[in-house]
Amino acid sequence: METVAAGVGPSDRLPGVKADGKGHAEAPLDWLLGPAGATFLRDAYEREPVVAHHNDPHRFRALLSVAAVDRKVAEQDLREGMLAMADAARSVDASEFVADSGAIDRVAVARLYRRGATIILNQLHQSDIALADFCRSVEQVFSCHVQTNIYLTPPGSQGFHTHYDNHDVFVLQIEGEKTWRLYDRPVEAPYRGERFESGRHPVGEPSHSFVLRAGDCAYVPRGLMHDASASGDTASLHVTCGLLVRTWADLVLEAVSEVCVDDPAFRRGLPPGFANRDFDRTSAQAHFRALVSDLATRARMDGALDLLTEQLIRSREPAVLGAIEGASRPVGGRYRARPSLWRLDDEDGGLRLIAPGGDMTFSRAPRSTIERALSGDPFTPDDLGHDQAEDLIRRLTVAGLIERVD
């Protein structure tokens, strides 16, 4: 396990890690892990846990606070599934805090929390702009769906028994502190359907223990058993940033499917009587080996990877805050691309921009102009150097791909 301790003051922040707590926009891994971010993908990702002690209690405060969680519970129309509760000391049934109508009983939530239960806000990035922007930044690094769940634990309490997650997580400690314990890794990189089973996976003794304080971050790869308890005299609030990746198995299956769809040999039925006890498999085994050999020769990565790429991009939520207000403003000033996945393809003499929220076609704007606008570097209409610059800026603004920055 890699542990990084960094005293971070105004003069020694990493490049891209802003003092306003929004450094994730330019350098997500540096913002999360400090110096370890530079080598994380090579040395730790999917393999080893990383703990980053930043000595910067306000580092992640721009994302959330206990007061903000209190307001969300009090103000939002929370329904079953949006809020959950957990207590390692006893099982908390949803009927204890969910009304018959499906609405969350706020008084019951407060009562259970006072008695030691953890409040969990699931998928809060779907209704919180700051968390949504953070997820988009991380999505650009990993090319996967990124989600956030929020955990508010009373002092001295523990929400869950020892378990592993079937997706990798970054743990961002926002307020308070939590003691974490890491155990064995019974399943290497489990698939999404491979959930932890307490009777099947013995816990044993912890291999590592550490305390996350406000501003600290930990990376826990999927399959690594862990538990955590609020260890200070105040409540613990942390955000888990989950990475829901596509695997090599997904890519291979898609490539195989493309071959099978176009070849009648794969559509033919299995031999009659194959389920009978006396069925001779010799001929079937030879035919199976021939089909597998054919797949190995004909399966291609590019088409399958293109499909997975387009599916991922189109499934992202666009960052449309300000798009309605900006739609009626005159074009001018400086603009910059928002963190977002996108792809630009040639199509019928023009260009198709595949982006969150839908595709856009361009018949006149050249590739270089669109790529300049989406590069991430600030620009003015004149910088684009094309008579379609104003129309391009309006369309990209409405789509949430760029924003005015002055």
Q: Are 42 and 50 in contact (CB under 8 A)?
A: no
Q: CATH number, domain at 394?
A: 3.90.930
Q: Which residues form the domain of 258?
A: 248-303
Asked if the model's pLDDT at residue 14 lies above 50, the reply is no
Residues 316-325 as b or e (16 or more Cβ within 10 Å = b): bebbbeebee
3-class SS letters over 132-179: HHHHHHHHHHHCCEEEEEEEEECCCCCCCCCECCCCEEEEEEEECEEE
Asked if the model's pLDDT at residue 178 lies above 80, the reply is yes
Provide, rounded to the nearest whole percent, the portion of the chain with pLDDT above 70. 95
Residue 6: the pLDDT is 62
Rounded to the nearest 10°, the torsion over CA 237, 62, 403, 125 is 10
Distance CA 389, CA 180 (A): 52
Q: Is 37 exposed, middle or buried (0-12, 13-18, 19+ CB in 10 A)?
A: buried
Among 11-15, 89-93, 213-217, 309-313, the least confident range: 11-15
Most confident range, picked from 7-16, 193-202, 363-372: 363-372
Pair 172, 200 in one domain: yes
Tens digit of each residue's pLDDT (9 = 90 or more) over 139-176: 999 999 999 999 999 999 999 999 999 999 999 999 99
Average pLDDT over residues 183-189: 94
Average pLDDT over residues 13-27: 55
Average pLDDT over residues 77-92: 96
The closest of 89, 128, 124, 82 to 105, measured between CA atoms, is 82
The closest of 392, 276, 402 to 342, measured between CA atoms, is 402
β-strand partners of 52: 4, 217
Which tokens is 212 given? 């996350």
Q: CATH number, domain at 185?
A: 2.60.120.650
Helix (H, G, I), strand (E, B) or coil at 301: helix
Boundary (domain end) residue, out of 197, 213, 244: 244
Residue 23: the pLDDT is 61
Pair 39, 132 in one domain: yes
Average pLDDT over residues 207-236: 97
Average pLDDT over residues 396-400: 93
Split at pLDDT 50, 70, 90, the class of 364 is: confident
Pair 150, 268 in one domain: no
Average pLDDT over residues 3-25: 51
The more confident residue out of 369 and 10 is: 369
